[in-house]
Structure 1
Amino acid sequence: MAIRLMTIDDVPKVMDYVVELTWQDGFHKYFFPGKWEHPFAFRRWWTQYVRNLVLKPGVYVYVFEEDSKILGWVTLVPGDNPPPTGIDLSKSSPREKRLRRFYRHHDSILEKLRPNHAVRNERVDYFRHVAMPEVRKTVMSGEDSHHWMIVEFLVDPALPRLQKEDVWKKLIDVGRKQCQADGVQFWAGVERSLVERFETHGFDNKMWMEVGTVDFAAMKLDVSQ
């Protein structure tokens, strides 16, 4: 068993259960109304999104791996410039810079040649540029503006229940330890169907937000203990 940072080569390994887990929840029904007619486009969007997270400076994408199989993964994005310790997240190696340029160009051309009809881009843009900044402004202020925030948390649904819970626990513990090391708070943006699961792992619901037909919670875990 190992917990490590995700690599580009890991992205295809998680796509089957990423698509399965996000197919029916309210969040992805609203933001991806065309996925039923365009399932491959839905998978394409997720592949591009996760790959770009892996390459994006300042972002942690941790995986839980066992026998070369990725059982779950979590993404931590920074709030108001928390000082990461222990790992260089600049992602400024020649290879990483080259990959970012290549995929930026590749995805731009692909979108022009074959627009992704699974996603409603204006809805996603509103969520990213209006809804989430509103959460940060109204809830994550003061010391809470210094945080790591979970934006993706996915565990292989094929795992037995107890093993699945163990993966959840270990990945949340990674985030808790990272927040403790950096002296920042620990938040999660949680779609309604997962709120209870996060509560069982110690998160408190601080605020509900609505975007279209979707409601989600801003949740916080006390990392002082």
Structure 2
Amino acid sequence: KYARLYMSRSAEQRASTIVLAPGKDDRQQINEAIRAARQDRGELGRETEICTLIKSDMTRAERRDAARYQPGVIVEAGRRFMLGPQKGERCEVVGVAKGKVIARMSDGREWKFDPRKTSNFQVYDEARTLRVAEGDRLIARGAIEAEGADGKPVRITNGTALDVVRVTDGGVVVRDNHQQEFEIGRTAQVDYGYALTTHQAQGQEYAHAIAHAESSRENLTSLASLYVTLSRAKDGA
């Protein structure tokens, strides 16, 4: 339904339209439906794959609890750890023992750390492969290190809407709403950006919004969320 509403608009209108969903599952389903419809219409070009990380929503207290670290969770080092990973290195959790998290580093060695005594690292629920094509609409799900048109390093901020301009040997060139172009690599925190949750939409502005709301899910469609939903659109919802 929501994909049909979105696709019924002109290409110009769709460029400034967002679908707002109450939860993550709804957002993912709507994104996939819209993307499939665009593929059927031949609107998407050359494809590639990007490895994207899904940031964990663990609270600060939960991050200190080793039992919360399930196998498959990704830990990214924010600095160099002695006898552990280098800054920026990603390790996969393989187990927990005696209050310590056991993670496998890129060279195969195990890194054991106590999350109560360790800081400066990020936690991701999973790494998954995202099919990305020329013409796709993406959104940054975290800070992304990219390369500007002048070849200089650029940091794309979390929540930035990005349109895929072209596929390159090293990744994809994307364009933001200010018409600035950047090249991002094949590992980046991005997701499809046709639909967002009301939480993700905070601080963003679109000319049009299509709101997905279910009365049976009152916890996800509170008055606060409804206010965010309606205030996102400048011209109409």
TM-score by length of 2: 0.23
Q: Which has the higher helix share?
A: 1
TM-score by length of 1: 0.24
- Structure showing greater radius of gyration is 2
Q: Which has the higher strand share?
A: 2
